[in-house]
Amino acid sequence: MERSSAAFHNALLFSMMLLVIGGCGRSSGADFTVETLESGIIETTYTSLPIAWLAVDTVAVWDVWSGDSGYHFNRITAAAGFDEGFFILDSGNRQVIETDLAGQVRNVFGNRGEGPGEFGFPRFLNVVDDEVWVGDIMPTRFSVFSRDGAHRRTISHQARLAPDANRCAILPDGRVVNSLDAIDGLLSLLRWDLGSATADTLAVMPSMPPIVIELHRPDGTVVPFDTRPTYAAELWWAYDPSGRLVTVTGEEYAFEERNIEGTIRRRTVAPTPDLSVTEQDREHFLRSVTFASGDGTTLSNEEIRRKWKFAEQRQAIGRITIDPLGRIWVLAHTRNVVQNRIDIFGPDHLYLGSIESFLPPLAFAADGTALFRIIGGEGEDVEYFTAVVH
């Protein structure tokens, strides 16, 4: 994909604006209470959350499309960190790329196909102990590799799970945590045993209403374009190898920490941010969106964008991530939908500070180095990655 010099500099400036943790011990001045409820759950309630911005230390910035890392990427869907770098899943090229912390390619493995070690449409990647797991949705299976890229085994499954980057995690014992699409207005978080194709339910919570998009045709008629159901990708959750499972609950600013059996141990609540969206905010958010009709009918993008309700239907918080140090990174939506922030809490759920970023890190290396996705350019769908250390 071609990129302009202006797009590169815009993305680079944005990456330098990212504010990443400079230390664990800094005081945030947040006003909060911690109490143990009758149920035994430890609840941390923030009556105010004064934002503490944290300092940046950029390791490297590179353009994944230009090949300046030593590889031309096609479509990146997932990544996972390890001791000294990252494994990145390129679904477009059907390959896994190993990089160091500066983004330089060390190894490439996998290929298009249905044979051992090959991928049809891979959407998921995890590193578990000394193995790299890749989830394929066509055919539905997991391919397991050694760290150096040697194929070890293929696990085909008939379980009703989706090996997707935002829906799966592999447990140390080989079981799979997977979130299930909304059924009767509910989202479920399940733990699958691939051998028996049975699942335990870890969490159930309400889904959001569907997102409705209308088409305004040139002749003045209005027809439905799309009604997007709430998918399990909007049940955000994260798991770390110590056995902590953190989930987002509902539309308020709240998240819960469970053990892997599903029992809630901690709950954290913060003031819900003002999510009202002005017309100017909406147009800014939708500037890079392109709509098209399935039958090729010419459409008025401005009319369609005005009817798109996604921005107004946001939850207070979105994705949630746990880093190798046990800290919880929570994407907090703001009124300015293109400048969301990430609030970072310690393992004890005490607020440490915030960074400004549209999305949370894609992955963390073992030392805490974070891999960020940067989108830059005026209307260009160009992705950049930067590794930053705290």
Write down the pTM of the prediction.
Answer: 0.80
Which spans in 81-179 are helix H? Answer: none
What string of DSSP letters covers 363-375? EE-TTS-EEEEEE
| Tokens encoding 290 | 């392109």
Q: How far apart are CA 388 and CA 372, in angstroms?
A: 8
Residue from 158, 157, 162, 199 nearest 180 by CA: 162
pLDDT in tens, 338-363: 678 999 999 999 999 998 887 788 88
261 three-class SS: coil
CA torsion angle for 229, 231, 234, 236 (degrees, to 10)?
A: 160
Q: How confident is the model at residue 335 (pLDDT cuts 50, 70, 90)?
A: confident
Stretch 193-202: mean pLDDT, rounded?
85
Residue from 194, 207, 183 nearest 159 by CA: 194
Q: How confident is the model at residue 5 (pLDDT cuts 50, 70, 90)?
A: very low
173: pLDDT strictly greater than 70: yes
Q: Bigger pLDDT: 196 or 379?
A: 196
Domains and CATH numbers, the chain: 1-20+56-166+365-390 (2.40.10.480)
Residues contacting residue 231 through CB under 8 Å, at least 6 positions apart: 181, 182
Which spans in the chain are helix H? Answer: 5-17, 279-285, 301-307
